[in-house]
Amino acid sequence: MKKDRKEQKGKVQKGITRRGFLTTVGVGAVGVAASSTLLGQKAKAEEVREAKELTKLTLVVNGRRRRVLAEPRWTLLYVLREKLRLTGAKEGCGRGECGYCTVLIDDVPRYACMTLAVEAEGAKITTVEGLMKGEELGPVQDAFAEEDGFQCGFCTPGQIMAAEGLLRANPNPTSEEILEGMSGNICRCGSYPQIFKAVKRAAALK
């Protein structure tokens, strides 16, 4: 019996223990990091920007080139609202959950609160203000007004931009595709039936 236990103990000691595995992985990670440094993959000091360092940006917003000075950490939402005074996009959760800040970047709906302004440089940015022609509402905006696709209205700009992005990609969506396309936008008032009707109406108007 004692002999069997000794044999089993010997087998365990010869295998890889949890501690040994973690130690091996840690050493390997350090080795990879060291190799990367030696290969010159470490960023040069002059390429690293301070968080509060102002950078010149040129953003194409609603067809206009807008030049701004922005910190690298500023979100697109912050720049649109506080620097360009385009307040259609709203700040709700600030972490990509509610969809109130939705804008189009190269015709694709994106959360402006989760997009850095520097990331959007060179892209085509469209906000809810950019859907209008002078004082005339765009088709999606018209549809939301006709179908009462809102109550308090706070989420409406984001809902409209999500619908606009959906219809640009798919002009004749099915009910299931509308449900999926609008799923990233929350309406705390619960106006979803009217919102879906508005999207269908907008598809007919476009």
Task: Say which CATH superfamily domain 55-205 falls into.
Answer: Beta-grasp domain (3.10.20.30)
Instruction: Report which of 129, 130, 185 is spatially closest to residue 154, judged by C-alpha positions.
Output: 185
DSSP characters over 128-196: GGGG-BTTBPPHHHHHHHHTT--SS-SSHHHHHHHHHHHHHH-SS--HHHHHHHTTT---TT--HHHHH
Instruction: Please classify residue 157 by burial: count the beta carbons closer than 10 Å to its beta carbon, then call 0-12 exposed, 13-18 middle and 19+ buried.
Output: buried
pTM (2 decimals)? 0.75
What residues does each domain of the chain span? 55-205
**Cα–Cα dist 55/36, whole Å:** 29
Task: Work out the pLDDT band at 48, boundaries 50, 70, 90.
Answer: low
Task: Work out the pLDDT band at 206, boundaries 50, 70, 90.
Answer: confident
pLDDT value of position 30: 42
Over range 184-205, report the average pLDDT. Answer: 97
Query: Is the model's pLDDT at 115 over the cut of 70?
Result: yes
